[in-house]
Structure 1
Amino acid sequence: MHPPKPRLFHISEQPGISIFTPRPSPSHFENITGDVVFAISDQLLHNYLLPRDCPRVTFYAGADTTDTDKQKFMSNTTASHVIAVESGWYQQIKETTLYCYEFLPDDFMLIDECAGYYVSYKPVVPVVVTVVDDIMAALLNRDTELRFMPSLTEIAVAVRNSSLRFSLIRMRNAKGVLMS
């Protein structure tokens, strides 16, 4: 028996995209061999329900996460996932409208389970578009804690050096954080 196919999405600040054409990957993945369309799994969609350039540290406990790290990072929340953003992004998060494009999963393959990344080498036509005009409400409805912090420097380093499952997204835009 095959596992159920995932629901896949692409988040954009641009409305009205009728077809997604493969493009070069903005990041290096050894298993990408050409231009692709990226999609995110429903399970980790919350990581992208923010303005595109907003730096963020996202994390959750996985099967290999130690009890010490669960206690250190997750003991003060009942949410299954945490997203930390800089406080300076609060207003832009409140004012940004996002467009959530859903794709059929048929032409996609998983390239990063921890981050929920899928790619297709073929052009993709969205089957549904949902407007997200209240990002914070959308995140709160997804069992996600949104943490506003003056700086992401310490949490990015701590999460990277932990046993948590995580993504460090758009960190080049964070204040004072140098990440390779």
Structure 2
Amino acid sequence: MRLYHFSEEPDIELFVPRVKANRTDMPPVVWAIDQKHEFTFYFPRDCPRIVYTRSEGISAEDEVKFFGLSKSDTIITVETGWYKIINETTLYRYMLPGDDFQLFDETAGYYIAEQTIEPLSVDPIHNLIEKLIAMNIEIRFTPNLYPLRDAILNSTLKNFGIHRFQNARKV
């Protein structure tokens, strides 16, 4: 199993467990993402974004509302103010030893380890938007994420992620 950690730092030699700001109820851990979900991290660290995927159980009304005429099964929406930053960012994908991690959230592809982790390798990732497009992921830009977040939270969508929302523009 391939697990990754994404960073804007090119030279991390060790990943030391730490308490995550929005998970203070957990012990210090190192976080990783599986290969299937790695695309959700093709963004600068602080970039607020909403990712949702077409899945069973969505109502016909919500199918039209959230997917409309799109042929893509995955849609990522980002605030327009992040467009230039995304285009100029180089990320570094650190490959981590999968045997050292335990599954934390299967739907999101998150894994955790309670010990210090040495990366196996690191690769720079450029042209983030082009990589997403090549994966048939639809990318949408909007001035503000709040209306979409509120609509999703009151919908039949079950497979979604709201990332770094604390950095979204205030309503």
TM-score (norm 1): 0.86
In the other structure, the counterpart of 1:149 is 142
Letter in 2 for 1:175: R
Residues 63/127 of structure 1: CA separation in 2 closer, same or farther (3 Å cut):
farther
Q: Quote the offset at 1:160 in angstroms.
A: 1.9
Q: Quote the offset at 1:77 in angstroms.
A: 1.8
Q: Does 1:19 find its partner at 2:17? A: no
Residues 122/62 of structure 1: CA separation in 2 closer, same or farther (3 Å cut):
farther
Contact 1:38 1:119 in 2 (8 A): yes
Contact 1:84 1:147 in 2 (8 A): yes
Q: Does 1:10 find its partner at 2:13? A: no
What is the root-mean-square deviation of aligned Cα atoms in Å? 1.7
Secondary structure of the residue aligned to 2:161 is strand
Secondary structure of the residue aligned to 2:112 is strand
Q: 1:102 aligns with which of 92, 95, 113?
A: 95
Letter in 1 for 2:19: P
In the other structure, the counterpart of 1:72 is 65
Q: Quote the offset at 1:128 in angstroms.
A: 2.3
Q: Does 1:60 find its partner at 2:21? A: no
Q: Quote the offset at 1:166 in angstroms.
A: 0.9
Task: Name the CA distance, whole Å, in 1 between partners of 2:119 and 2:135.
Answer: 22
Task: Name the CA distance, whole Å, in 1 between partners of 2:70 and 2:51.
Answer: 14
Contact 1:151 1:175 in 2 (8 A): yes
The percentage of counterpart residues that share the same residue type is: 37
CA deviation map 1:61-93 (0-9, x unaligned):
234433432332124222221110001111111
Q: Quote the offset at 1:29 in angstroms.
A: 7.9
Corresponding pairs, count: 170
Contact 1:46 1:144 in 2 (8 A): no
Task: Name the CA distance, whole Å, in 2 between partners of 1:67 and 1:104.
Answer: 42
Q: Quote the offset at 1:127 in angstroms.
A: 1.6
In the other structure, the counterpart of 2:165 is 171
Please list every run of at least 4 consecutive aligned residues from structure 1 whose deviation after the TM superposition is greater than 6 angstroms.
Answer: none
Secondary structure of the residue aligned to 2:61 is helix
Secondary structure of the residue aligned to 1:106 is helix
Residues 129/111 of structure 1: CA separation in 2 closer, same or farther (3 Å cut):
same
Secondary structure of the residue aligned to 2:98 is coil
Q: Structure 2 unaligned segments of length 5 or more: list them.
A: none
- Comparing 59-68 with 104-113, greater Cα deviation is found at 59-68
In the other structure, the counterpart of 2:104 is 111
